[in-house]
Amino acid sequence: MESERSRPLRRVKTAARDLFTEPLAWDQVASGDGPVELEIGSGKGLFLLEAAAQRPQHRFVGIELAAKFAHGAADRLAKRNLTNASMLRGDAQKFLAQVVPDRSLVAVHVYFPDPWWRNKHKKRRVLNEQVLQDIERSLIPGGQLHFWTDVLDYYEHICAQLMDTTKLAGPRYVPQREAEHSMDYTTHFERRARTHGQPVYRALFVKPD
């Protein structure tokens, strides 16, 4: 049986812009008018697809480390002709630190990041103290950080870090919205968690004016 690793990647007509091979400046990433929202770890791109369609006056940027997911999400955005959203393949930590300017984002979205439980793997976590501070720096006054996870310990850890190392106000309660159809979820991870009866922990943090 052919292994998952040996299978070729699904061909896509529109690929994500790869920051590893094509470093970009901020004005190349978020060109045009309108408020900008950033999603860190976009996965298959369900959030970007729905949010870009619902808020056409906003610009959306997604960044994903896994090439397969990043290119697939870019292709789905192109097929929906969602020109107000762009998909990047790259390292979100470096992108925030080196590319995203101060007070340039109205919202940052981080949904179901890998908690990397083992101590030797914790350095792989996308959310660390520096990233949280870069998120705070990049938000405009009144800008929002949306953080969701299905792991209670990780939720408490990140919320505590945000309260200890940033001036973002929160966590604020985010009510669960009832799904109207089988794909009416913010991300595929939320869909999987809720269809299996698992709780989802949601936090909203806001940058003070």
Residues belonging to the active site: 114
- Cβ-defined contacts of 134-137 (< 8 Å, 24+): 134/96, 134/97, 134/100, 135/96, 135/108, 135/166, 136/166, 136/167, 136/168, 136/207, 137/102, 137/103
* Residues 88 and 29 sit within 8 Å (Cβ to Cβ): yes
Q: How many other CB atoms are found less than 10 A from the CB of residue 177?
A: 9
